[in-house]
Amino acid sequence: MASTPLTFKLETTSGRARAATMTTPHGTVKTPTFMPVGTHGALKAMTTEHARETGSQVLLGNTYHLTLRPGEQLVEKLGGLHKFMAWDKTLLTDSGGFQVFSLPKVEITDRGARFNNEFSGENMEITPERSIEIQNRLGADIIMAFDECTPFPATEKQASQGVRRTLSWMERCIRAHKRSDDQALFAIVQGSTFQHLRASCAEVLVSMDLPGYAIGGVSVGEGHDLLCEVSDFTTPLLPENKPRYLMGVGLPEDLLACVGHGVDMFDCVIPTRYARSATVFTSRGRIRLSNRRFRRDAFPIDASCDCYACTGGMSRAYLHHLFAANEVLSAILCSIHNVHFYQNLMREARKAIFEDRYDTFHRDFLTNYRGGDEEASP
């Protein structure tokens, strides 16, 4: 591979947990880090300024959705995705593969994937070359290879075919990549829950010497235990001097378990999706603010939280009212809180790694988080 603008410096470890600094053309990222998802170039119910205030360092955009509308040509013409969405920090775009393979009617061949445009009905195709072309035009700092995301459960034959295509498509992605001077192309390890397939896939990808490596094909219904098995097994197969990214994960307990395996980067829609359905995260577990028990609750979401919603005088009772009244502000405030909760969790994890007490931090968090009670006062 040609030289890449992405640099990765491992700073310290605590067990297998790692703290590092990653630098891209748009700034420095301290890991472990959580990347909120802005599927259409926007976080749900949050502005980029809100994201910045939560401490978010990287946002994620989706290639599939952005090529459907407004189209990568328009984004490029208007100055690229950073300018388009008013975000001056690091951006990552996924390849669109996960979304395409999740469509109800999709034809997958060795060439790529064919599907119908959900808006116009026209027949479309995404190949490794097309995915990279779109991502080159969008202009994110980190772009992802087009891979075959194996569904769960999968047979060994299905998973093996997914690995074969993923490796073949990786080579095509490398050849198609025209902006290696300012965009870092990450590889994605597939193999479902089959360790020998994960190992063989990782071995070939590592030999290609990419700027970073992701673990894909997880968070597709396998559950916490299998997710952790895959992460625990696969992470040590990836280079120590490159960022490791676990895609689509997850709940707080998932993140901390996988930080403990040596994962550096995470993304997931959970914080904002849960917020829109009145579910918020606290140091004592999740609570659902639409429940009537919060109708007269004068406490903030979490007394230990310093986000805008928790320090700005908004009580659980007020938020309960906003959800009951279908006020948009309910989703805004709870999204800010949830994303802040995730970012603070990563900050605390990083601090614990530097103090070489990550296992204790992880254990204490779970004790409080799982021992909490929706009805308990903060």
- Which sequence spans correspond to the domains of the chain? 7-268, 275-371
In three-state secondary structure terms, 342 is helix
Alpha-carbon distance of 279 to 315, in angstroms, equals 15
Nearest to 144 by CA among 47, 226, 71, 246: 246
The residue to which tokens 């087009």 are assigned: 146
- The whole-number pLDDT of residue 373 equals 54
Amino acid of residue 317: A
- The whole-number pLDDT of residue 1 equals 47
Residues 6+ apart with CB under 8 A from 145: 95, 128, 131, 166, 169, 170, 173, 185, 186, 187, 188
- Number of Cα atoms under 13 Å in the Cβ half of residue 332: 12
Nearest to 169 by CA among 100, 259, 271, 263: 100
Q: What is the DSSP string of 146-205?
A: ------SS--HHHHHHHHHHHHHHHHHHHHH---TTT-EEEEEE--TT-HHHHHHHHHHH
The first and second tokens of residue 345, run together, are 């969790």
Alpha-carbon distance of 226 to 220, in angstroms, equals 11
* DSSP-assigned beta bridge partners for residue 213: 187, 244
Q: What is the pTM assigned to this prediction?
A: 0.96
- The whole-number pLDDT of residue 372 equals 64
Architecture of domain 7-268: Alpha-Beta Barrel (3.20)
Q: How many CB atoms lie within 10 A of CB 6?
A: 22
For the chain, 378 residues long, give each residue's pLDDT as a single digit of tens. 445 789 999 999 999 999 999 999 999 999 999 999 999 999 999 999 999 999 999 999 999 999 999 999 999 999 999 999 999 999 999 998 888 888 888 999 999 999 998 888 899 999 999 999 999 999 999 999 999 999 899 999 999 999 999 999 999 999 999 999 999 999 999 999 999 999 999 999 999 999 999 999 999 999 999 999 999 999 999 999 999 999 999 999 999 999 999 999 999 999 999 999 999 999 999 999 999 999 999 999 999 999 999 999 999 999 999 999 999 999 999 999 999 999 999 999 999 999 999 999 999 999 999 986 554 455
Tell me, what DSSP letter sits at residue 277? Answer: T
Q: Which residues are annotated as catalytic?
A: 94, 267
Alpha-carbon distance of 162 to 222, in angstroms, equals 17
Contact criterion met (CB below 8 Å) for 288 and 278 = yes
The residue to which tokens 């829609």 are assigned: 269
- The whole-number pLDDT of residue 103 equals 84
**What distance, in Å, lies between the first and last C-alpha atoms of the chain?**
52
- The whole-number pLDDT of residue 291 equals 98
Alpha-carbon distance of 362 to 349, in angstroms, equals 8
- The whole-number pLDDT of residue 102 equals 83
The first and second tokens of residue 220, run together, are 């597709």
